[in-house]
Every structure is written in structure tokens, then in C-alpha cells.
């Protein structure tokens, strides 16, 4: 990518708030603010934090039977997704690998889809090519802001009382400060919270209204990454990619029963085979015993010294108070409690396989 990084509608606010801006997937995004990654992470777990996630692709799908048609691209039961509901899912390829993960919402008269920033260029043409008779409209004039944390309901509810009554994975359209927004009760931090799509002209004003709440601080991509890692949530490009199947990635929970049985999505053969016989590897939580973080690419060895896999995401978990990681291990390994060694800078460091998530998810069910 040789183009200058793109700016979100909140760019001027990031600068005003002292955000440290970096190039992320072709976007100029704040990795942290003056509070720092650790402080922002803790603030989100304890109170509330606001994240700019406008780099993600927002897409509107209009047409007949959009849910049914999405089922030809995704292993999720989108045909039966009720109006006002959102569901996590992914596009699979013909080999059963994951092309991208996404959130699909049934917005009543249309569907609303959010995809990863780095894969907008892949996903939009993919949907245009395969969703016959569906109008695929990529939205360029709206920001997407996540308000996350146990106080998120107070922060958003103070400006929009209807948001208080929403449950996890519900979506509505409502006014915030007189601005019509799409509010969805979901996120990617493991905490309760909302993702809010805001017209770009008013995005800074609405975000400032959230930040005016005493319990709310801005947080950057650094904290977003450590929060999602502790919550055991996969990052596309690290933990899941074109080669990893949903079953390997321990994402079987995101494929509804009917789809597991009926198939009818790209790569269904592999997914069904792995469901029946087990996958050759699986994504697990890994807790290093010492203090050294184990980062992406670190080799995992079993107690006997054989290589059994690799770390795909790892770092320091501020809430855990120590290093945390996720990685793939070969079949026959990966039971919680299993002791492994992580080859950090050539030296074996002991670690234990643990059940995910590292931090209990705190959703409003």
C-alpha cells in the first residue's frame, strides 16, 4: 500500500486528545492516548472506554431474502436472524478456511454488515459477486465508535435511554444528542457495551458527549488488542486466516446447529468432517508461568520437547496481571492443565494450556 493512510471522521479528535497515531491496515489510527495502553485497558474493564473503529467496513445489503443468500457464503443461520438482532459470523472459502469474520445485523428493511478494515477490498467484491439480486452498499460517510465497559450502559444510556433496555446482540436506530445513530449492543472487548454508527459530520460531537461522562476515557488499538486477547476473541490475520477452519479456531459455537447439519456453505465438507472426527489442530489459551510475554510466532513444544504448534496472539494481559497468549496445538494436545514450553528467544519458558477466556465475559444477556 503506497497511498497515504486514510483518516477517520474522528481524526481531529484523536489529535486533540493527544492520541499517538500509527498506520493500521491503511488507516491512521490511535494506538494509545496519554493514559497509556495499560491504563486504558483497566479503565475499560472497570468503567468505560471509547474506541474509534471507523476503519472497519460498514455495509448495507438490500434486496429479497438477504439472510438466505448470506447463508451461501457463511456457515451462520442468517436466514432466521430476527429483525433487531445481530450475529457474529465469517465468510468461509471453498477449503473451509476463514476469509474474514464479521457481524451481520438484521435491520428490518435491510441488513447491516461490519467487516475488518484490512479486508474491505476483498469482502465487498465477494458479496457483490455472490449475493445475486442484492444491492451491496459500502458506507463511507459514517463513523463507527465502540463504547465498552461495565459503565457503557450509563455513558450511552445518559444520552439515549432506549439503549439501557437493549440486550447483548440487539440493534436499534435511535437519537443520540439529536443525531440518528445505529446502536448495537456488542463489541470485541469481552465487556458489555455498544458499537454505534454515527453520521460523519456529527461523529466528533457525539463522541465528545460520551467522553463528557466522568467514567469514560478514550482508548486506542493497543488496549483493544489486549482486551480482546484476554476475552479469548480471535484477531483476523493473527488467530484466524484463509488456512484456518472455524473448528480449528474453536469457533464451532458460532455455527448454528442447522448449518452444522445441513452444510451448504463454502468448505462445509471440511467443517463437517472436523466436527465429526476432530481437527488436526486447535486454538487454545496459553498462560506463560513466568513474566516474559510470548508473542505471535513463538514455537510451542510439548513436555517431551517436540514442536506441537505456534503462538498466534500473545502479550501482556493487564487484567490478568501477567502474560497471556493464544495459539494452535496439534491434535492430542491442548487439554487445560497441560504443561508446555514456549521457545522465547531460543530458550524454553514453561507455560500451561488454559481454558479461554482469560477474563470472564461480561455481556448483558
Partner 1 sequence: MATYYSEEHEWLTVEGDVATLGITKHAAEQLGDVVFVEQQEAGDDFEKGGEIGVIESVKAASELYAPVDGEIVEVNEALAENPGALNEDPEGAAWIYKIKVTDASQLEDLMDLDGYKALIG
Can you give the binding site for partner 1, defined by CB under 8 A? 31-32, 36-39, 41, 222, 226, 291-293, 295, 315-316, 318, 323, 345
Looking at the Cβ atoms of 41 and 282, the one nearer to partner 1 is 41
The residues pairing with 191 across neighbouring beta strands, listed in sequence order, are 362
Least Å distance, CB 321 to partner 1, is: 10
Grid coordinates given for 24: 493500521
Looking at the Cβ atoms of 148 and 226, the one nearer to partner 1 is 226
Least Å distance, CB 226 to partner 1, is: 6
Whole-angstrom Cα distance, residue 310 to residue 330?
Answer: 10
Looking at the Cβ atoms of 177 and 238, the one nearer to partner 1 is 238
Least Å distance, CB 237 to partner 1, is: 17
Please, is 143 exposed, middle or buried when counting C-beta atoms within 10 Å of its C-beta (0-12, 13-18, 19+)? buried
Least Å distance, CB 294 to partner 1, is: 10
In this structure, the dihedral spanned by the alpha carbons of residues 111, 80, 357 and 144, taken in order and rounded to 10 degrees, is 10
* List of residues 6+ apart from 342 with CB closer than 8 A: 286, 288, 294, 298, 299, 300, 301, 311, 325, 348, 349, 350, 351
With beta carbons less than 8 A apart as the criterion, state whether 357 and 190 touch.
yes
Looking at the Cβ atoms of 40 and 195, the one nearer to partner 1 is 40
Least Å distance, CB 295 to partner 1, is: 7
Helices 221-230 and 36-46 cross at an angle (nearest 10°) of: 50
Looking at the Cβ atoms of 25 and 330, the one nearer to partner 1 is 25
Looking at the Cβ atoms of 41 and 213, the one nearer to partner 1 is 41
Least Å distance, CB 222 to partner 1, is: 6
The distance in angstroms from the start CA to the end CA of the chain is 41
* 3-state DSSP assignment of residue 240: strand
Amino acid at each position: 500500500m503506497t497511498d497515504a493512510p486514510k483518516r477517520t471522521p474522528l481524526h481531529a479528535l484523536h489529535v486533540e486528545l493527544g492520541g499517538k497515531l500509527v498506520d493500521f491496515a491503511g488507516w491512521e489510527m490511535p494506538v494509545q492516548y496519554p493514559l497509556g495502553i495499560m491504563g486504558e485497558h483497566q479503565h475499560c474493564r472497570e468503567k468505560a472506554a471509547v474506541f474509534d473503529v471507523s476503519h472497519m467496513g460498514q455495509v448495507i445489503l438490500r434486496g429479497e431474502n438477504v439472510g438466505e443468500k448470506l447463508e451461501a457464503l457463511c456457515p451462520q443461520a442468517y436466514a432466521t436472524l430476527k429483525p433487531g438482532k445481530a450475529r457474529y459470523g465469517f465468510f468461509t472459502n471453498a477449503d473451509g478456511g476463514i476469509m474474514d469474520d464479521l457481524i451481520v445485523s438484521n435491520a428490518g428493511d435491510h441488513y447491516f454488515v461490519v467487516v475488518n478494515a484490512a479486508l474491505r477490498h476483498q469482502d465487498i467484491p465477494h458479496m457483490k459477486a455472490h449475493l445475486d439480486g442484492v444491492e451491496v452498499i459500502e458506507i463511507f460517510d459514517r463513523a463507527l465508535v465502540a463504547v465498552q465497559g461495565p459503565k457503557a450502559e450509563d455513558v450511552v444510556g445518559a444520552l439515549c435511554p432506549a439503549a439501557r433496555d437493549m440486550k447483548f446482540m440487539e440493534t436499534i436506530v435511535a437519537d443520540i444528542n439529536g443525531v440518528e445513530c445505529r446502536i448495537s449492543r456488542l463489541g470485541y472487548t469481552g465487556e458489555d457495551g455498544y458499537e454505534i454508527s454515527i453520521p460523519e459530520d456529527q461523529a466528533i460531537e457525539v463522541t465528545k458527549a460520551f467522553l463528557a461522562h466522568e467514567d469514560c476515557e478514550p482508548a486506542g488499538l493497543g488496549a483493544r488488542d489486549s482486551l480482546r486477547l484476554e476475552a479469548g476473541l480471535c484477531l483476523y490475520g493473527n488467530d484466524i486466516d484463509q488456512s484456518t477452519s472455524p473448528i480449528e479456531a474453536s469457533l464451532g459455537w458460532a455455527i448454528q446447529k442447522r448449518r452444522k447439519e445441513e452444510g451448504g456453505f463454502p468448505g462445509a465438507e471440511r467443517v463437517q468432517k472436523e466436527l465429526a472426527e476432530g481437527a488436526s489442530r486447535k486454538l487454545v489459551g496459553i498462560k506463560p508461568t513466568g513474566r516474559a510475554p510470548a508473542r505471535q510466532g513463538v514455537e510451542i513444544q510439548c513436555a517431551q520437547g517436540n514442536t506441537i504448534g505456534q503462538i498466534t496472539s500473545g502479550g501482556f494481559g493487564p487484567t490478568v496481571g501477567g502474560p497471556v497468549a493464544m495459539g494452535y496445538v496439534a491434535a492430542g494436545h491442548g487439554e487445560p492443565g497441560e504443561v508446555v514450553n514456549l521457545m522465547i528467544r531460543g530458550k524454553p519458558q514453561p507455560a500451561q494450556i488454559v481454558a479461554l477466556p482469560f477474563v470472564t465475559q461480561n455481556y448483558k444477556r
